[in-house]
Amino acid sequence: MDYEHNRALRETGFWGRRGAGCLFLARDTGRLCIAHRSRYVQSPNTWGTWGGALDGTESAEDAVLREAREESGYDGPVELQPLFVFRHASGFSYHNYLALVPGEFEPRLNWETSAFVWTRWDRIPDPRHAGLEALLADAASLQAIVLASGSGLAETG
């Protein structure tokens, strides 16, 4: 699979031809878990989603669950809510999800992720990965995140 993902990187500028990622949202606190990308990955030292490339004929839903488990160690119950799909002129697409979990957990980090933070949707730290910026700029996705977190846009003032 790495050969195919590497080839896609040369052809599209992205690791793989399709990807999927998520932001975890704890139902009990309404906070999001954001990943801090390590220095060993593309767009290093930025805050972003938990995710990566789809393998073979894997669905976006299966890939996001696999990637989130690999990168965070979380293996509990999760409900996926589809969000913004980023599409690039090269043909690359990245499917974003909100991964609703019962409560906050302590991620087990690997080489791809150097840190994490549980935070409110309106307090996501900088610098942000371009994909996370695009996700948060999508009005429908932001509204879904705000509603799921139990807070309103008017409460941020």
Mean pLDDT of 94-104: 98
Whole-number pLDDT of residue 5 = 46
Under 8 Å CB-to-CB from 99, ≥6 apart: which residues? 22, 23, 24, 25, 50, 64, 68, 78, 79, 80, 81
Per-residue pLDDT reduced to its tens digit, 119-150: 999 999 999 999 999 999 999 999 999 999 99
- Report which secondary-structure segment, H or E, holds 137: helix 130-137
pTM value is 0.86
Mean pLDDT of the chain: 89
The CATH-assigned architecture of domain 2-150 is Alpha-Beta Complex (3.90)
Checking if the pLDDT of 10 tops 80, the result is no
Quick one: pLDDT band at residue 65, thresholds 50, 70, 90? Answer: very high
Checking if the pLDDT of 153 tops 60, the result is no
Distances (CA, A) of 43 to 22, 23, 127: 17, 17, 10
DSSP assignment letter at 102? S
Per-residue pLDDT reduced to its tens digit, 20-58: 999 999 999 999 999 999 999 888 899 999 999 998 899
The amino acid present at 61, given as its one-letter code, is E
